[in-house]
Chains A and B, each alone.
Chain A
Amino acid sequence: MNVAVRSTAAKPDVAALKAQAARLRGKIIEMSHKAQAAHLASSLSCADAMTAAYWHVLNIDPKNPTDPLRDRFILSKGHAAAALFATLAMKGYFPIEELDTYCQDGGRLAEHPPANLLPGVEAATGSLGHGLPLGCGMALAGRIKGESFRVFALLSDGENNEGSVWEAAMFAAAQKLENVCVVVDYNKWQATARSNETLMLAPLRDKWAAFGWDAHEIDGHDVGALAEAMQNIPNGSGKPVALIAHTVKGKGVSFMEDDNNWHYRAPTAEEVVKSFKELGLS
């Protein structure tokens, strides 16, 4: 059995994580402005979960991105690619300057994460409902090969519309994939409407629990709580873990928060300056 060396369960440095989350949001906003690309608000709502994962939880080495023992993080809500690209660049998977090529002709950073092209991207996503089945396969590969890495899949709430999510949820529970953790970025919006007015997700925690998961509600902007809950995988329940993270779409910038126009809109230069001020960035 190859047991992954995992950092001890140190208490998260919440102040440092908050500062990092603000820097991540700033980078995402810059990218959205420069590329005039969509999905800014979706990227901001999951920025705290990304920060908790990459700056506290994941057992990863950006210099060795294919280490078989690494924890896997799958951005199943692939439309938040800007958040993933900024995270990977800030972690050192590729030069930070490459973020300037986001959505530019001939680059590696398209509007959704690519397959077999960019270090650190575990799976090409963009079509919803794919990340969790892939993650279950990865977790089983680890089990078969005696590698005890963990698999995290970040899903959007709209993504819970997809039947394949629930197929995978039942499968993971039947296989007792306790190394698998789903984080649902529950920002209450999907592309064009309130999520619960589109397909009824509520009660979302109860649904995941009914599908055999150890399911918990969590404040999706509390980086400390996210870091502790995600670090605690597997958590001893013997079940896969679902963290229903209550979030605000566009979180961090007052004039974007809970305004679904920012699913598609990109900020002007002036709005970037305003956003940076609110985030405490220069």
Chain B
Amino acid sequence: MRNAFADELTKLGNEDSRVVMLSGDIGNRLFDKFKDKHPSRFFNCGVAEANMMGVAAGMAMNGLRPVAYTITPFVTTRCLEQIRTDVCYHEAPVTIVAVGAGLAYSGLGPTHHACEDISFLRSIPNMVVICPGDAFEVRGALRAAMQQDRPVYIRMGKKGEPVVHKGPIADFKIGKAITIEEGSDVCLLSTGNMLPEVIEAAHKLKEKGISAEVVSFHTVKPLDEDKLKQAFSRFKLVATIEEHSLIGGFGSAVSEWLADTETKHQKFLRFGTPDAFFKKSGEQEYAREVLGLTGHQIADKIIHALS
């Protein structure tokens, strides 16, 4: 996702002279092409995220389209007040791009994990929250973010995730979920970097004779309400899957929507991370296994719920 982001950003920078890149001292060589072409529009803001976010807001309030980028906790919780007050209160069109969502940087420990950011950011007025499911969705999200006039948060995985879409998504739209595989028994609503696990879960379910629809629910705010209505009316089980805390994330957003709209539904499962720091060493695959977030574990739990 990271390389797709840098590449798409360079293209956008070529097309639109308002695009400015702010990095919190990461992405060694990642932005070389952008820097080469637009040296006056690239800023390494150092390890000073509060300032970076304020600078981005000041630029956006004066006609530019800044992108502020660093590792997820540092570009979200570290400078949360700047996001809330400088960016969102002013409705400044800053695009915040985070790398290492959820447990992508599992091995680096809880300082670098990000399982609370969706919760924080979606509660701020004027903020849009997008969790792309693969590299093509990252490109679509970034392009869509630049075409509107408001704050956007894009929550990426890291690099090397499996690509799900076959090519560029021509009609990527903020707030419009994408059906990846059609099904008829259960509906798996995936947000962000969990998408490959969810596809694997669907395949495991198919082996057991259960037809699963897979949806990349990339925008957590605003929710695609049409898709939710359809999912809860059509399927005997709907599940939300995210690499984020069960408190305040995508599953919470859908639960709130269910309560507020008094939507009748059958079974509803939420997959996410528990209310605990993941302190043990190990990479993302290990962490997912421990937390029950791999494709086969998701499938098993759904089979159990249906039985």
Contacts and interface: CB of A to CB of B under 8 A. Distances in A.
- Asked whether A and B interact, the reply is yes
Interface of A: 68, 115-116, 123-124, 127, 129-130, 132-145, 163-164, 167-168, 170-171, 174-175
Nearest to A162: B50
B120 interface: no
B85 A130 contact: yes
- What band does the interface of chain B fall in when counting residues whose beta carbon is under 8 Å from A? 20 to 34
A116 B125 CA distance: 14
Nearest to B60: A137
B90 A123 contact: yes
Interface stretch (B61-69, B157-165, B228-236, B251-259): B61-69
Nearest to A163: B50
B20 interface: yes
A175 B20 CA distance: 15
Contacts of B86: 123, 130, 133-134
B249 to A, nearest CB: 26
Please list the 9 inter-chain residue pairs (A to B) with the smallest Cβ-Cβ separation, ordered nearest first. A137-B58, A133-B54, A141-B62, A167-B51, A167-B48, A137-B55, A134-B58, A164-B50, A137-B59
Contacts of B277: none
Contacts of A142: 62
B45 interface: yes
B227 interface: no
B91 A141 contact: no
Nearest to A169: B51
Contacts of B85: 124, 127, 130
Nearest to A132: B54
A115 B64 contact: no
B50 A144 contact: no
B57 interface: yes
Interface of B: 20, 40-41, 43, 45-46, 48, 50-64, 66, 81-82, 85-86, 89-91
B62 A138 contact: yes
B43 A133 contact: no
B51 A144 contact: no
Contact of A145 (B43, B46, B63): B63
Given A115-B91, A163-B50, A175-B43, 19 more contacts: A68-B63, A115-B89, A133-B54, A133-B55, A133-B86, A134-B55, A136-B51, A137-B54, A137-B56, A137-B60, A137-B61, A139-B58, A140-B55, A141-B62, A145-B62, A145-B64, A167-B51, A168-B51, A171-B48
A144 B43 CA distance: 12
B50 A129 contact: yes
B285 to A, nearest CB: 37
22 contacts: A68-B63, A115-B90, A123-B86, A124-B89, A127-B85, A132-B54, A133-B53, A133-B54, A133-B55, A133-B86, A136-B51, A136-B54, A137-B54, A139-B58, A140-B43, A140-B59, A141-B63, A143-B40, A163-B50, A164-B54, A168-B48, A171-B51
A132 B53 CA distance: 12
A116 B91 CA distance: 8
A141 B58 contact: yes
Contact of A144 (B60, B64, B82, B90): B64
A127 B58 contact: no
A175 B62 CA distance: 18
Q: Which of A134, A143, A175 has the most CB of B within 10 A?
A: A134
Contacts of A130: 54, 82, 85-86
A160 to B, nearest CB: 15
Contacts of B91: 115-116
B90 A171 contact: no
B243 to A, nearest CB: 30
B128 to A, nearest CB: 18
A208 to B, nearest CB: 16
Q: Which of A68, A144, A170 has the most CB of B within 10 A?
A: A144
B61 A134 contact: yes
Contacts of B20: 140, 144
A260 to B, nearest CB: 26
A141 B64 contact: yes
A135 B54 CA distance: 8
Contacts of B51: 133, 136, 164, 167-168, 171
B83 to A, nearest CB: 12
Contact of B58 (A129, A133, A163): A133
Nearest to A137: B58
Contacts of B40: 143-144
A32 B92 CA distance: 32
Contacts of A139: 58
Contact of B46 (A129, A132, A137, A171): A171
